[in-house]
Amino acid sequence: MKILLISIGLLLIAFVAVQLFAANSQRNIETYPYTVYKKFDIFEIRQYKASLFTSVKLPLKKYKDASGKGFSILAGYIFGGNEANEKIAMTSPVAMSLEDSMTMMFLVPKKYSKASLPQPNQSQIEFREEPAKAVAAITFGGWANDEKIANYQNQLKAALTAEGIAFTQRFYFLGYNPPYEFFNRRNEVIVELAPEVLEGIKK
């Protein structure tokens, strides 16, 4: 019994250490920059700055199938799977387009340009320049899955329609936490808005 209690205690200490490490890592990580223009009951309107991403397109339409495969490919690149064997810092969030063929994207640290990034070893990885954009965003906690993402996507559509805010069909899932982080998990579904929507809100 004593050995069992000691083992449980050591596991709890290790668990707490991992969670503290994860929380500290999140505070120091570079994130996709945006400005909040207006908050509603369950969503907010943001403007994102133009940013550079590494991306991989997958012939899959379910988050469950695409998330692990896409993350593995892009993580391989930033952990040294490139012509310079260079390690590139992890950023947040991990983005995934919600389409029949999903595209996963990692934000490129701002110290790099498209020209200065090392070329990937895997040919399916592309560099993607995302322009500045206005979006609506809805946030939820816990671990994401296909059902949750679809549910919050539908909630966001309904809320925007109720407010009379026009939106495109360009939806994305954003995940902010590593899989081993248990607490304060943050996920979002965002959708691009027409530029004139943001102009109307700013007036």
Q: Report pLDDT for 98.
A: 94
CB 60 within 8 A of CB 66: yes
Q: Report pLDDT for 56.
A: 97
Using CA atoms, how far apart are residues 1 and 134, in angstroms rounded to an integer?
59
Q: Which CATH class is domain 2-202?
A: alpha beta
CB 65 within 8 A of CB 149: no
63-78 and 146-163 are packed helices; what angle lies between their axes, rounded to 10 degrees? 100
- Domain spans of the chain, in order of start: 2-202
Using CA atoms, how far apart are residues 105 and 174, in angstroms rounded to an integer?
10
- Three-state secondary structure call for residue 184: coil
CB 134 within 8 A of CB 198: yes
Lowest mean pLDDT among 49-58, 123-132, 140-149, 189-198: 189-198
Q: List phi, psi (to 5°) of 64.
A: -55, -40
Q: Model pTM?
A: 0.84
Q: Work out the burial of residue 185: count CB atoms within 10 Å of its CB; fewer than 13 is exposed, 13-18 middle, 19 or more buried.
A: middle
pLDDT in tens, 157-178: 999 999 999 999 999 999 999 8
pLDDT in tens, 41-91: 999 999 999 999 999 999 998 999 999 999 999 999 999 999 999 999 999
